[in-house]
Structure 1
């Protein structure tokens, strides 16, 4: 099975996934990284690992549909079966969702449906809850509303700073996400619907 990772930032989850692929704990081929920000550090990480890296931005296109159509063509050429979002900071639109329904995974740093959106860790911390965590879910057309695949809790200690909580959340992400990706691959591999068709 062939994976593509979409990322926008530092790329720590990307690195954890790439390492799991290298070690064989994710039984798949990581064929490319796509990044929508030309200055993102994840690009350097990917290039150092020798992974094919593609970068362009929505502003390079007339609209979002054209941007995603270019992405779709890249995925098609590379016969990508599963898309994994790792800090990709854009909503997936209908052009990609139509083709990759239930084949785009995302990880969110909170226990959905609580604290969706861009600042899940900060929002949970400022709300004063005693428990937050991480959620892996399939992507749909909403903001962190897709079907939940897995969750893991992280308790918030009264002595925690936001930075301490962020570090613990990221550590859990790096453990949970590769495991769930592999489980998803195993489930998809049992069906005849996952394999990408290059026809059409």
Structure 2
């Protein structure tokens, strides 16, 4: 990728063609894309597609654009589950005939040598408090089950911040990339909460919704039939330090008080 003198990114012509080609390949009905967008009818693009087919580089281009390592969907997988509650999702993985290894963020850090030693084919994160290194996500596909409606409330405790900031509430499953909760969306669901609502009851419902969403989508992911959508918009991001002021409130009844009362107190504390 080139950078202009003004600091703006520009794509090389070949990269533009690759992106166009990927859009066609990933469309639900490629013929509609071809028919309705005239830029796919120009001679350069048609020649590019012809050469790509001859050289059998379609897979290489997709991997280059998405950054996802190659996956063999035909064999049995060794799936690494990194989670505070692996019991919520492990049965869905085992049901399709794959082996699992479960770790939490209290266990040793995951390294490339660990991935190679145990021949890990796929990583699923769910309530995992550590950030996977680039060395990991470059060699094995990784997804995250996130308790928020991305791109809002990236980072830890998305449910907490969705209430305080009044943002959309839901759950998302996404690919892990070099950012924090910035990877392409596989599937997400907006949630309506059951009354009476407390921070604890809403968290419990979020965990259950994550579990159900994963159970329904995992067969698509496992078979290579899942979709992916780039996150749109800047979104919001929080860290553990962001909620330090709320520690006393959370430890002294905040989890179980009515959500409206909690939000009012939390906003007052954060404004100080």
Q: Contact 2:137–2:177 (CA<8 Å) still a contact in 1?
A: yes
Q: Which has the higher contact order (CA 8 A, sep 6+)?
A: 1
Q: Contact 2:193–2:205 (CA<8 Å) still a contact in 1?
A: no
Q: Contact 2:92–2:218 (CA<8 Å) still a contact in 1?
A: no
* Match runs of 1:146-185 below 5 Å: 146-156=183-193, 159-185=196-222
Q: Does 1:56 align with 2:108?
A: yes
Rounded Cα–Cα distance in structure 2 between residues aligned with 1:2 and 1:182: 15
Is there any run of 5+ residues in structure 1 with no aligned partner, and where?
A: 38-54, 58-67, 189-200
| Structure 1 length-normalised TM | 0.68
Rounded Cα–Cα distance in structure 2 between residues aligned with 1:163 and 1:34: 24
| Structure 2 length-normalised TM | 0.51
**How many residue pairs end up in the alignment?**
149
Q: Deviations over 1:128-158 (max 9, x none)?
A: 34x4110000000111000000001112468
Q: Deviations over 1:20-62 (max 9, x none)?
A: 234x2xx14233112331xxxxxxxxxxxxxxxxx325xxxxx
Structure 1 residue ranges, 4+ long, deviating more than 3 angstroms after superposition:
156-159
What is the CA distance between 1:92 and its match in structure 2? Answer: 1.5
Rounded Cα–Cα distance in structure 2 between residues aligned with 1:156 and 1:133: 10
RMSD between superposed Cα atoms in Å: 2.0
Q: Contact 1:83–1:104 (CA<8 Å) still a contact in 2?
A: yes
Structure showing the higher helix proportion among its residues: 2
Rounded Cα–Cα distance in structure 2 between residues aligned with 1:33 and 1:95: 20
* Larger-gyration structure (1/2): 2
1:28–1:93 Cα change, 3 Å: same
Rounded Cα–Cα distance in structure 2 between residues aligned with 1:139 and 1:32: 19
The equivalent residue for 2:158 is: 120
What is the CA distance between 1:89 and its match in structure 2? Answer: 0.8
Rounded Cα–Cα distance in structure 2 between residues aligned with 1:31 and 1:78: 10
The equivalent residue for 1:84 is: 124
Q: Contact 2:93–2:100 (CA<8 Å) still a contact in 1?
A: no
Rounded Cα–Cα distance in structure 1 between residues aligned with 2:219 and 2:159: 25
Is there any run of 5+ residues in structure 2 with no aligned partner, and where?
A: 1-76, 226-272
Structure showing the higher strand proportion among its residues: 1
The equivalent residue for 1:97 is: 137
